[in-house]
Amino acid sequence: MQLVLISGLSGSGKSVALNVMEDCGHYVVDNLPSALLPQLVSHLRGAGYQRIAVAVDVRSGAGIVSLPKQVEALRGMVDDLRFLFLDARDDVLIARFSETRRRHPLGDAFSTLGEAIAREREELALIAELGQRIDTSDLAANTLRNWIKNFMNLEAGSQIAVLFQSFGFKHGIPLDADLVFDVRCLPNPHYDPLLRPLTGRDQPVIDFLEKVPEVGQMVDDIYAFVASWLPAYVNDNRSYLTIAIGCTGGQHRSVYVAEQLAARFQDNARVQVRHRSFK
């Protein structure tokens, strides 16, 4: 049996995630009190269901604080348990609530929307570390759907899943990053008019960067650091590690470095690559 738990901030895209799970053939349950998770799993197993997706968040009430312990217990009940936590910046969440005109679950007549979001973020702080965290601040709905599908296609196993994610500092640092490396000190292909419209996956940009010794040294140094500390994350029972590589616009240098690192770690971990600044 596979159990996918989905949590996160209100307005971060949990409904999108649930729709993806349902489209993939999962039995979907929204807004289930976390205390009922063991009973739900037992009941659905008896009914013959093999894939379940459940949204658990602050709507479940005070019982949400016991979710970390319940997750450990659930790991002994199912063959494959995955936890997805969706997050977004406060300003993005406020804009989304303003657009939809929906009421925040923790909103009341005595607090602002910003205060309700801050309270929710505080209540979910421990839960955010339970599994894969995705920052949806700058993601279109279709991009989020694709990322979730990639998350679900990860093969179950003992290897840690390492995600290399390129981004542009001018768009902000991703909230889901565990490690952040800044490669803005490297020569920028943006200043070459012929390379400007290309990305770090295009051969002319690759050729440009491979001719610069400092670029190779940067890749080597980041690889050595991550390779050295990856066992510590494995020993800490981490299932996922997100490594963000940032340049100014997130189009050339960070993309190239993320692709290079992903290729080097293919034999050491389950590797994914994402690029935030283009599809």
Residue ending a domain, choose from 98, 124, 152? 152
Question: What six digits make up the tokens of 174?
Answer: 């991703």
CA nearest to 159, candidates 274, 268, 1: 268
Assess whether 173 and 130 both reside in one domain: no
Assess whether 96 and 214 both reside in one domain: no
Give dist(CA 77, CA 196) in Å, integer: 52
Residue ending a domain, choose from 104, 126, 152? 152
Q: What are the Cα distances from residue 8, in Å, to 180, 186, 191, 222, 237?
A: 22, 36, 40, 30, 21
* Structural domain that includes position 148: 2-152
Classify 162 as helix, strand or coil. strand
pLDDT digits over 219-263, tens only? Answer: 999 999 999 999 888 877 677 899 999 999 999 999 999 999 999
> Along the chain (279 residues), what's the average pLDDT of each consecutive run of 10 residues?
93 92 90 89 92 89 81 89 93 90 84 91 87 88 84 60 94 91 97 96 97 97 95 79 96 97 90 84
Read off the pTM.
0.66
Q: Which residues on neighbouring strands pair with residue 271, listed in sequence order? A: 162
The tally of domains found in the chain comes to 2
**Cα pseudo-dihedral 219, 225, 228, 229, rounded to 10:** -130
